[in-house]
Homo-oligomer: A and B are copies of this chain.
Amino acid sequence: MEAKSIILPQDRMPRQWYNILADIKLNPPLGPGGKPIRPEDLAPVFPMNLIEQEVSSDRWIDIPEPVLDVLRIWRPSPLTRASRFEKALGTPARIYFKNESVSPPGSHKPNTAVPQAYYNKVFGIERITTETGAGQWGSALAFACAQFGLACKVFMVRVSFDQKPYRKAMMQTWGATCVPSPSTETKAGRDALARDPDTPGSLGIAISEAVEQAVSDSSGKTRYSLGSVLNHVMLHQTIIGLETREQFKLIGVEPDVVIGCAGGGSNFAGLAFPYLLDKVNGRQIEIYPVEPAACPTMTRAPFVYDHGDTAGYTPLLPMHSLGHTFVPPPIHAGGLRYHGMSPTVSQLIDEGLLTPRAVKQLASYQAGVLFARSEGIIPAPETCNALACVVEEAEKAREEGREKTIVVSFSGHGLLDLGAYEKYLAGQLTDVGMSEEQLAEAMDTVKDYPRPAHLKIR
């Protein structure tokens, strides 16, 4: 029989990342007064070696050996035929999942946390600050910092801090410090607490706290780290798709459909970007980034210049955005509750190379439970969104009688999100979404935002 998992030998692990900026143009980020940001403007926030990566247009960038050495703890990750899921769906489609849940923190996030920690370390940085919502990113950075002997400080949105104590314990086990945000440690936090002592916190406030603490360290030894959206994050994640291509080569298969969930866009981009050139070069391949219908950035929001954070501290980035003041409904896929979308993914949507999809919360858990009962692995709530799209495609294949090959990025496991499953199984989850009124309100907010130029692929 066909092997269930296609295992890439460790000596065939990719040694370079693919940089999509070699093949597409981006509108520049804009600073105060609408002027393009220069690399040196970002120096207080990020180490210069990462800023250079952020703006590089080299197509292939070497993965440093010490980074490969840590990635080998769990990479190459398996590419697995979901034959039992196929059977449960009664589809002629062949479904493969690229299993990023096998990393120690349980998701794709360490693919960028590890190089970010490494580049900070070699630049002489001793401490990294970041924010986290549901906790996946904070866990990944804590893990990565432990590998390179860096201190790590995570500002975790208070409501999640209280709801998910295991995430905090995980970060502490790896030696990181995790505090609820808003905290009294920063001006941004104190201001937020003064406005509302009982605030549940927000990702926007947490970003402000993390950035403030990084740039105000007078020793110059602290920097800030972001887990999605930026170009260098997308770059680091391409190891997912590069491995997947090698694995499919081993069995002589080419996927017809590529699917990944997208919050800030890094998991989707990691799998999809290495397949984009195939599409540009004329191969028939469908590429679907999937978002929750409750936060329809790609499917409903316009392509504008907007801030990456709620407080407006970041430069203006060219992206599909519901507006930086938009607060998504409380779906459980916390990693997809982001008002914007990475500039690279946004640009590719604008060029018509990607076809965004939106799925509802209940359909996502229905897909997730079916996957758990057939393939055994319990998906993260974010991953469930991608799986719901796989289900739709599998059903389409059945109707069309087509044996197409689908590959989906299995972004993470749901072992620290089982509370959401319990609620779903008890019938306590709803298809929480946006009403047309709420959507109209968001559209009204962003309608006067500056518009990026329409660019075409090189």
Instruction: List A residues at the B interface (Cβ < 8 Å).
Output: 1, 3-5, 7, 9-11, 69-70, 72-74, 80, 84, 102, 104, 106, 143, 146-147, 165-166, 168-170, 172-175, 369, 372-378, 415-416, 418-419, 421-422, 425
Contacts and interface: CB of A to CB of B under 8 A. Distances in A.
A170 B374 CA distance: 14
A165 B420 CA distance: 12
Contacts of A372: 104, 146, 173-174
A227 to B, nearest CB: 17
Given A3-B9, A10-B5, A377-B104, A418 B72 contact: no
Contact of A73 (B4, B378, B419): B4
A422 B373 contact: no
Contact of A378 (B84, B104, B373, B419): B104
A422 B10 contact: no
Given A7-B7, A372-B173, A373-B175, A416 B419 contact: no
A429 to B, nearest CB: 13
Contact of A143 (B10, B74, B376, B421): B376
Contact of A418 (B1, B7, B166): B166
A169 B73 contact: no
A5 B375 CA distance: 24
Interface SS of chain A: helix, strand, loop or mixed?
Answer: helix
Nearest to A68: B1
Contacts of A378: 104, 170, 173
A11 B3 CA distance: 7
Contacts of A175: 373
Contacts of A166: 166, 415-416, 418-419
A174 B375 CA distance: 10
A174 B415 contact: no
Given A172-B425, A373-B146, A72 B4 contact: yes
Nearest to A73: B376
A152 to B, nearest CB: 12
B419 A173 contact: no
A168 B422 contact: yes
22 contacts: A1-B69, A3-B11, A4-B69, A5-B10, A7-B9, A70-B376, A102-B102, A104-B376, A143-B376, A165-B419, A165-B422, A166-B418, A166-B419, A169-B419, A169-B421, A170-B418, A172-B425, A173-B369, A173-B421, A174-B372, A174-B373, A415-B416
A72 B146 CA distance: 32
A5 B72 contact: yes
A141 to B, nearest CB: 13
Contacts of A104: 372, 376-378
Contacts of A9: 3, 7
A370 to B, nearest CB: 11
Given A9-B7, A10-B5, A106 B415 contact: yes
B72 A421 contact: no
Contacts of A10: 3-5, 7
A319 B369 CA distance: 41
A380 to B, nearest CB: 12
Contacts of A174: 372-373
A418 B373 contact: no
A424 to B, nearest CB: 9
A106 B170 CA distance: 16
Contacts of A106: 415
Contacts of A369: 173
Contacts of A165: 418-419, 422
A438 to B, nearest CB: 31
